[in-house]
Amino acid sequence: MSMEKRTSRLTLLIDPDKKAVFEQLCAREDQTPSQVVRRLIRDYIEQRLGQPWKPGDKVVGTPQ
């Protein structure tokens, strides 16, 4: 898998209790919350596109 650029920031609001549990579960898997969120986003993209995706791929038919 190629290294993705990590230059954009995504800010979201989440319940503090949910955040704490999420961070604990990430730590159990020896992953950072950012790693898990990036994987979730990549999986979401691939599921919606119905095919593998890699950085630089464009979505056809979507305004730029």
Q: How many residues does the chain have?
A: 64
Q: Write the pLDDT tens digit of every residue in 14-33.
A: 999 999 999 999 999 999 99
DSSP state of 18: H
The model carries a pTM of 0.77
- 56 contact partners, CB below 8 Å, separation of at least 6: none
Sort residue 14 into left (φ over 0), alpha (ψ -120 to 50) or beta: beta
Asked whether residue 2 carries a pLDDT value surpassing 70, the answer given is no
- For residue 6, CA distances in Å to 33, 38, 50, 55, 63 come to 14, 10, 24, 11, 23
Alpha carbon 21 to its chain centroid, in Å, reads 18
